[in-house]
Chain A
Amino acid sequence: MLKNLYIEWLKIRRYRTFWVFSILFLVTILGINYISYEIKESTSASSVFGSPFRFPHVWQTITWLSSYSLFIPGILMITFFTNEYTYRTHRQNIIDGWSRAEFIHVKLAMIGIIAVLTTFIAFLNVLLFGLSTASSFSLDKIEYLFYFFIQALSYTSVAFIIALLVKRSGLAVVLYLSYAFIIDNVFKLLLNKYFWQTGNYLPLETTDVLIPLPFFGNVLPYQANHTTALIMAFIYLVAYYLFANWKFKTADL
């Protein structure tokens, strides 16, 4: 697998889009956190519930805010994968001697790596903002970082599945963004309203609800069951894996 990951690295290391996306992601995640930090720290609202950027609350705050930038690694994944279809290199890799399983597994491993790196960047943001409030470092509530990792896996996987299905980058990106930001939320509202709150367990919602809104305390009327949400997230991830594997192994490439 390491050798195959090295081959993926050969594909992207001189790919300018990859570097531009990575820098944009860093800027975006820092920007989202900074904007909220400035607003919260300069308003008196923070004093009522305690500053959300102080340890231990900062774990939840930063991961919740950072999750709004997860569409960038998603689009990056779409670009990686649809490139193979555009250049027909998915065929060439197989012809050159990869098995279909190897091809799909290394892509799934890339999702894992993207999620780890994304989580690490969120962790650096936690340190940066948490420590700049002059609060003392605490591992209390670090579980939010794990939830963020699951969320990153989930967002990148959904992007990957869409890319696998539509194969064209433009269409895949539009579908992904409208699903992640609008369609998923519309279905959530409808299902929550008419079908006993099941909307919270939609593919992206189930990881969104793992990290609830960190501001204003717990004033929201309903919060999803954490354990159920986590179990659903795992079920989805396994389903993505099985589907991608089956699809790529049986399709004409």
Chain B
Amino acid sequence: MQNSVLQIDKIDKHYGTLQALRQVSFNVPKGSVFGILGPNGSGKTTLLGIIMDVLKASSGSYQWFGEPPTSNQRKRMGSLLETPNFYHYLSAIDNLKISAAIKGVEDSHIHSVLEKVNLGERKYSKFKTFSLGMKQRLAIAACLLGNPEVLVFDEPTNGLDPVGIAEIRNLIQQLASDGKTIIMASHLLDEVEKVCTHVAILQKGKLLANGHVQDILSNDDIVELSCNNIELLQKVALQITGHTKLEQKENTILLFFPSGSANLESINQTCFQHHITLTHLVLKKRSLESKFFELTNA
């Protein structure tokens, strides 16, 4: 596929008897912000390690830009895997000189990427004197060297304070709006929901689902209803057409509809015709969390 930046085809990875990845296949479309979502230990980092050639797949293959993987392709990417990896005894700027030299990027870029992550003032400080958040920001600066088309981030907001998290999310959104493809592993649902356009869900090394975020993570409309007479409401609610499921949660009735098909006005009208005055009527997308639990418990 021409529009895929990355194609992953039936990748397996064993560590002895432990199977870390099972037959994982998906495509990452060009220009997407692609989230790889899964609980800790689901194989996200292993998968990213394989596509960056620091781990070897037991079987299966992958292609970058429609071609078999080469080291030169990685020069066009910026990647942050697990923890920031730098020479502790060197300064921020000396560390980035090494990354820049490997990527074939001019040293003059270093200054601007350090400014972008707010490390300009500490550029001559040794890496070992940095806080966790600063190390993470330096790693992100290294990813930005040479203005790469593809960015691969493993838990990019790890170790950052709330301000830092917001900064990095803004940065990712800004990069996405510049047309970059971003592949991002995360165990944080709301992070994926906030910044990603696409998502793949991994659990115990198996791909459970992948596609557009709105298709995967919220495919139901849920209407919450309540009134003073919950028994009557339940009878009436059963007559409302188009719903797929009805649940009662204490004094609230939950009506499930296929995505986009719930009509609050007609629900309200039906109730009113049956002399019910609703005290609560809300349309909710199925919560990401409940969907995630549903998927990973399957």
The answer on a CB contact under 8 Å between B85 and A91 is yes
Separation in Å of the A144 CB from the closest CB of chain B?
A: 38
Is A7 an interface residue when CB atoms closer than 8 A count as contact? yes
The answer on a CB contact under 8 Å between B83 and A88 is yes
The answer on a CB contact under 8 Å between A95 and B52 is yes
Is B55 an interface residue when CB atoms closer than 8 A count as contact? yes
Task: Report chain B residues within 8 Å CB of A88.
Answer: 83, 85
The answer on a CB contact under 8 Å between A14 and B74 is no
Assuming the contacts A15-B89, A83-B87, A89-B86, asked whether A10 and B71 have C-beta atoms less than 8 A apart, the reply is no
Is A100 an interface residue when CB atoms closer than 8 A count as contact? yes
Q: How far is the CA of A50 from the CA of B135 in the complex (A)?
A: 64
Which partner residue on chain B sits nearest A18 by CB separation? Answer: B89
Is A165 an interface residue when CB atoms closer than 8 A count as contact? no
Contact of B102 among A7, A87, A252, A253 (CB under 8 A): A7
Q: How far is the CA of A92 from the CA of B86 in the complex (A)?
A: 8
Q: How far is the CA of A3 from the CA of B101 in the complex (A)?
A: 8
Assuming the contacts A10-B94, A91-B54, A250-B56, asked whether A97 and B89 have C-beta atoms less than 8 A apart, the reply is no
Assuming the contacts A95-B52, A95-B79, A97-B102, asked whether A102 and B71 have C-beta atoms less than 8 A apart, the reply is yes
Is B278 an interface residue when CB atoms closer than 8 A count as contact? no
Is B88 an interface residue when CB atoms closer than 8 A count as contact? yes
Write out, one digit per residue, whether chain B residues 97-109 have a CB within 8 A of any chain A CB (1) or not (0): 1110111100000
Separation in Å of the A32 CB from the closest CB of chain B?
A: 30
Write out, one digit per residue, whether chain B residues 57-74 have a CB within 8 A of any chain A CB (1) or not (0): 000000000000011101
Task: Report chain B residues within 8 Å CB of A102.
Answer: 71
The answer on a CB contact under 8 Å between A97 and B85 is no
Contact of A95 among B54, B86, B87, B104 (CB under 8 A): B54
Is B10 an interface residue when CB atoms closer than 8 A count as contact? no
The answer on a CB contact under 8 Å between A97 and B81 is no
The answer on a CB contact under 8 Å between A11 and B98 is yes
Write out, one digit per residue, whether chain A residues 81-106 have a CB within 8 A of any chain B CB (1) or not (0): 00100011101111111111010000
The answer on a CB contact under 8 Å between B99 and A92 is yes
Which partner residue on chain A sits nearest B99 by CB separation? Answer: A96
Separation in Å of the B242 CB from the closest CB of chain A?
A: 51
Is A181 an interface residue when CB atoms closer than 8 A count as contact? no
Is B90 an interface residue when CB atoms closer than 8 A count as contact? yes
Tier of interface size on chain A: 20 to 34
Separation in Å of the A109 CB from the closest CB of chain B?
A: 16
Is B122 an interface residue when CB atoms closer than 8 A count as contact? no
Is A120 an interface residue when CB atoms closer than 8 A count as contact? no
Q: How far is the CA of A94 from the CA of B53 in the complex (A)?
A: 7
Task: Report chain A residues within 8 Å CB of B111.
Answer: none
Is B75 an interface residue when CB atoms closer than 8 A count as contact? yes
Task: Report chain A residues within 8 Å CB of B87.
Answer: 11, 15, 83, 87, 89
Q: How far is the CA of A3 from the CA of B104 in the complex (A)?
A: 10
Contact of B55 among A3, A16, A93, A253 (CB under 8 A): A253
Q: How far is the CA of A16 from the CA of B128 in the complex (A)?
A: 14
Within 8 A of A (CB), among B127-184: 142
Task: Report chain A residues within 8 Å CB of B85.
Answer: 87-89, 91-92
Q: How far is the CA of A14 from the CA of B127 in the complex (A)?
A: 13
Q: How far is the CA of A138 from the CA of B81 in the complex (A)?
A: 58
Known A94-B71, A98-B71; 4 more pairs at CB < 8 Å: A14-B91, A94-B53, A96-B75, A96-B102
Residues of B whose CB lies within 8 Å of any CB of A are: 49, 52-56, 70-72, 74-75, 79, 81, 83, 85-91, 94, 97-99, 101-104, 142
Residues of A whose CB lies within 8 Å of any CB of B are: 3, 6-7, 10-11, 14-16, 83, 87-89, 91-100, 102, 250-253
29 A-B residue contacts at CB 8 Å?
A6-B101, A10-B94, A10-B97, A10-B98, A11-B90, A88-B85, A89-B86, A91-B81, A91-B85, A92-B85, A92-B99, A94-B53, A94-B54, A94-B71, A95-B74, A95-B81, A96-B75, A96-B79, A96-B99, A96-B103, A97-B72, A97-B104, A98-B71, A99-B71, A100-B53, A251-B56, A252-B54, A252-B55, A253-B55
